[in-house]
Amino acid sequence: MSALQRVTQWQTFARTWHLFDARWQNPFECSSLIAKHLQGRHKPIYHPLNDCGDMVVAINTRHIALASDEWIKRVYFHHTGYPGGATWTLAWELHDKDPTMILKKAVYSAIKNNLQRRTTMQRLFLYPDDKIPDDILANITNQIRSPRPVPTPLPDPASEEFQSFPRIAPFPEDYVLK
Amino acid sequence: MSNSHLFMSAGWVTAPLNNGIGRYSGQLQRVVIKFCKTHGCSRGVREFVESNLIDFSRQNPGVAVYVKPRRHRAPTITAEYCNGERGYMHVSNMSRDEVYKWLSHQTTQSGREFCRYRKFWRTETPSIQGVWSPHTFRDPRLNLAEFPMVSTAPKDWFRFC
């Protein structure tokens, strides 16, 4: 193998660091997307015996959005192994304890159960907000597009932008604003 | 790949010293034929030695042929190759033609140990346009992008989705 072939192979199997912004994203929808990048299934060279998975850094996991009333309906089960050791934790309780855990469990479920599962999960970095350590931020070279558009919130009523927005008609004189 | 191949070593299609490119040299160096003069299971080998062995040896001058009569032993053929490997096979109860066929088979072998082929072809240039890499088809604007990008970044920047 020549030096060029060797370097070509290094380049082909180089790991890419992807960033994923989880703000306003449904974790159970984007988990398959993250799992795909963690396993390298998005690459044309993918093969189950290849070690071609990428690194994914997920930020803003505190600001994920669950559909409908899943915050109170989704239950996470854990059993310590001892009699009476079963616990059922609601999604909002788990999110209070650890804001990264829901997305982490969703990605874990999206990966097929085999010997590579734990190793693949180690390539996933989760941060509750947009603060990333500098050494990890320096590696990131790509961003995974979020599947859902982030909605723009209404501006603060006291703000300049809200006040200067053109009105169709002024309020009546006797109308009491809250 | 089946389970029976799990413990077989894997390899690529190769020829020793580019054998066959420009010139061909037979890799079989030595053949030892052992047989019994009296037993029935050596009958085909005895007939082969009587009628075909001289022709075989003349056709393959690079092969040293040893014939060893062994009393009351099963007939065998041992082939030794340039790379030091040794092929050994029983030829009991085989007819004359079968012995000739297996000896010709040994003559055409390279002596390399049997292995599972990873591919049934081999090339030094598997791709003319170059193998894929993470930088293939990558938007050069991403080189100067600041991460995390806001969601209003152009959609065509997100190449991997």
Domain count, chain B: 1
B151 is a domain residue: no
Q: Which structure tokens are listed for B102?
A: 């297996």
Query: Domain of A147: which CATH number?
Result: 3.90.1180.10
Q: Does residue A12 or residue B160 have the better pLDDT?
A: A12
Average pLDDT of adjacent 10-residue blocks, chain A of 178 residues: 91 95 94 96 93 96 95 97 97 97 97 95 96 95 89 85 87 88
Does A6 fall in a domain?
A: no
Range B34-44 average pLDDT: 96
Residue A161 lies in a domain: no
pLDDT at B1 over 80: no
Residue tagged 């065998």 (tokens): B76
Min CA distance, A87 vs chain B (Å)?
37
State the pLDDT at residue B159: 47
Residue B155 scores a pLDDT above 70: no
Per-residue pLDDT band for B161 (boundaries 50, 70, 90) equals very low
Nearest chain B Cα distance for residue A164, angstroms: 24
Nearest to A14 among B134, B151, B157 (CB): B134
Task: Tell me the nearest-neighbour CA distance from B113 into chain A, angstroms.
Answer: 22
DSSP string, B38-96: S-GGGHHHHHHHHHTHHHHHHH-TT-EEEEEE-TT---EEEEEETTS-EEEEE-TT--H
**Taking the model in full, what pTM does it have?**
0.70
Position A30 scores a pLDDT of 93
Residue A77, beta-bridge partner list: A88
Could you report the per-residue pLDDT of B51-62, keeping only the tens digit for each? 999 999 999 999
Residues B160, A14: C-beta atoms closer than 8 Å: no
Percent of chain B's residues with pLDDT above 90: 60
B141 contacts chain A (CB < 8 A): no
Contact B33, B77 (CB under 8 A): yes
Nearest to A137 by CA among A22, A13, A31, A18: A18
Q: Is A24 helix (H, G, I), strand (E, B) or coil?
A: coil
Beta strands in chain A (DSSP E): 17-21, 55-59, 75-79, 86-90, 124-126, 142-144
- For B131, the closest chain A residue by CA position comes to A12
In a domain, A41, yes or no: yes
In sequence order, the 6+-apart residues with CB closer than 8 A to the CB of A38 are A53, A54, A55, A56, A107, A111, A120, A121, A123, A124
Q: What distance, in Å, lies between the first and last C-alpha atoms of chain B? A: 33
Q: What's the pLDDT score for residue B7?
A: 85
Cross-strand partners of A21: A59
Which chain B residues touch A44 with a CB distance below 8 Å? 132
Q: Residue B110: give the domain boundaries.
A: 15-117
- Structure tokens, B140: 């050069």
Residues in chain B: 161
Residue A1 in domain: no
Residue B90, CA distances (Å) to B34, B41, B69, B94, B110 in order: 10, 10, 15, 9, 20
Average pLDDT estimate for B98-108: 96
Per the model's pLDDT, the better-predicted residue between B159 and B34 turns out to be B34
Domain assignment present for B110: yes
ipTM above threshold 0.85 = no
Structural domain count, chain A: 1
Residue A158 lies in a domain: no
CATH code for position B55: 3.40.30.10
Contact residues, chain A, for B145 at CB < 8 Å = 143
Q: How far is A90 from chain B (nearest CA, A)?
A: 30
Whether the Cβ atoms of residue A75 and residue A89 lie closer than 8 Å to each other = yes
* CA B2, chain centre distance (Å): 18
Supply the pLDDT for residue B151. 57
CB proximity B160 to A under 8 Å: yes
Percent pLDDT > 70 in chain B is 93
Query: Does some domain include residue B24?
Result: yes
Nearest-CA neighbor of A42 among A67, A64, A16? A16
**Is A57 a domain residue?**
yes
Residue A9 maps to a domain: no
For residues B105-113, average pLDDT: 92
| pLDDT value for B88 | 95
pLDDT for residue B157 is more than 60: no
Residue A123, domain extent = 14-153
Specify if A52 maps to a domain: yes
The chain-wide mean pLDDT, for chain B, equals 89
The conformation of residue A93, written as its DSSP 8-state character, comes to H
Count of A-B CB contacts under 8 Å: 51
Which of B142, B145, B161 minimises the CB distance to A145? B161
Question: Would B6 be classed as within a structural domain?
Answer: no
**β-pairing, A55-59 with A17-21?**
parallel
